[in-house]
Amino acid sequence: MKELEEKIVQADCLETLEKVRVELFGKKGVMAAEFAKMKDVPGPEKKAFAEGLNKNKAALQSAFDARFEVLKADEIERVLKSEEIDVSLYSTLAKKGALHPVMETMDKIIDYFVALNFAVESGPMVEDDFHNFEALNLPKYHPARDMQDTFYFKDGGLLRTHTSPVQIRTMLETKPPIRMIAPGTVFRRDFDVTHTPMFHQVEGLVVDEKGKVSFANLKSILTDFLQYMFGDVDVRFRPSFFPFTEPSAEVDISCIFCEGEGCRICSHTGWLEVLGCGIVDPNVFKAVGYDDVSGYAFGLGVERFAMLMHQIPDLRSLFEGDIRLLEQFR
Ligand code: PHE
């Protein structure tokens, strides 16, 4: 009896315990064999014999039940442990953030000019008429003001329509020579496939003594810059007009999609317009009180660069906040 109880207690897993159960309580088990002995027990002793057997059986059964509870609990514990998930562990599937393509493009542009020792300047997004227009040779009622649909505040303030006011602010605050860029957010009342009311520009301005800054300098630096941005492209300067530069040019690169053959994106011209630039108009220098200086300036739209570099067809998708767009730039 002790020996049998011992077997139960020593079973170290449910499987072993099951074997012990068959051995003890099975059809051909120890208990069955004991009960089979009943028929050989003489009549008067039968009752006592049976009572003894039943008592032993009950004791074994409760020992078994107790052991079963313990082993079952162990088993559950073991399974739970093996399936445990440590939510605090670092996952290799964790999503990393990414720079927005507009900011990434902006950084790439800034890197180029910083390497050439240009200072990075900034100015307010809420501007006044003087810095955004007047000082840039855009007097009131000048027809060129219509080129830029402006958001006005009731008090006459406005959201800057370009980064050019930073030229004015920098010239008013410092003395030449100046070599600066001004990356920033600008606003215009425009909304279609290639225009959003908020977008980004990078402005450039170089000012030095009269005769030291030429259109040739401008041409060479912008050509190199555009090849840094777009690879091996042709660059051409087309005469244009800006109130704050004279002469002015718009700059095209050979179409990076058809390599100049002509396609839908370049409107079958083989060229993509990417920049505005020119020699700083004397009236701008007059407005900031600069004498005997020469300079060049340029301005570009960062979204346009990003769209071309990443072949993004609809500008608006850059600002819809759809994470699936950003995931493509991780
Ligand atoms: N400010 C002009 C624009 O927003 C771009 C420009 C800047 C052109 C500097 C010439 C010189 O379109």
DSSP letter, residue 83: T
Q: Are 277 and 249 in contact (CB under 8 A)?
A: yes
201 vs 193, more confident: 201
Asked whether residue 227 carries a pLDDT value surpassing 80, the answer given is yes
Give the mean model confidence (pLDDT) for residues 133-153: 85
Question: Please, which pLDDT band fits residue 285 given cuts at 50, 70 and 90?
Answer: very high
Give the mean model confidence (pLDDT) for residues 17-22: 92
Structure confidence at residue 314 (pLDDT) = 82
pLDDT in tens, 34-45: 888 888 888 888
Asked whether residue 144 carries a pLDDT value surpassing 80, the answer given is no
**Ligand 1 geometric centre to CA of 262 (Å):** 27
Residue 248 CA: which ligand 1 atom is closest? 10
Q: Whole-model pTM?
A: 0.72
Residue numbering of the annotated binding site: 246
Strand 293-301 versus strand 119-120 pairing type = unpaired
> In whole angstroms, what is the distance from residue 186 CA to residue 188 CA?
7
Residue 59 phi, psi (nearest 5): -60, -45
Asked whether residue 148 carries a pLDDT value surpassing 80, the answer given is no
Looking at domain 101-329, which CATH architecture does it have? 2-Layer Sandwich (3.30)
Structure confidence at residue 203 (pLDDT) = 98
Q: Which residues line ligand 1 (CB under 6 A)?
A: 162, 164, 203, 242, 245, 276-278, 297-299
- For the chain, give percent helix, strand, coil, nearest 5: 45, 20, 35
- Highest mean pLDDT: which range of 8-17, 23-32, 238-247: 238-247
The position carrying tokens 């912008």 is 222
Return the best residue to mutate from 138, 147, 162 for the ligand 1 pocket (most ligand atoms within 8 A of CB).
162
**Ligand 1 geometric centre to CA of 320 (Å):** 26
> In whole angstroms, what is the distance from residue 200 CA to residue 304 CA?
9
pLDDT in tens, 81-125: 999 888 888 777 767 778 899 999 999 999 999 999 999 999 999
Residue 285's nearest CA partner among 220, 210, 217, 221 is 210
**DSSP assignment string, 174-243:** S-S-EEEEEEEEEE-S--BTTB-SEEEEEEEEEEEETTSS-HHHHHHHHHHHHHHHHSS--EEEEEEEET
Nearest CA owner, ligand 1 atom 2: 299
Asked whether residue 126 carries a pLDDT value surpassing 70, the answer given is yes
Give the mean model confidence (pLDDT) for residues 304-313: 89
Q: Are 166 and 121 in contact (CB under 8 A)?
A: yes
Of 143-157, 207-221, 222-236, the least confident:
143-157
Asked whether residue 143 carries a pLDDT value surpassing 90, the answer given is no
Every domain of the chain and the residues it spans: 2-82, 101-329
Kindly give, in sequence order, each residue whose CB lies less than 8 Å from that of residue 96, ignoring residues fewer than 6 positions away: 330
Q: Are 14 and 71 in contact (CB under 8 A)?
A: yes
Nearest CA owner, ligand 1 atom 10: 277
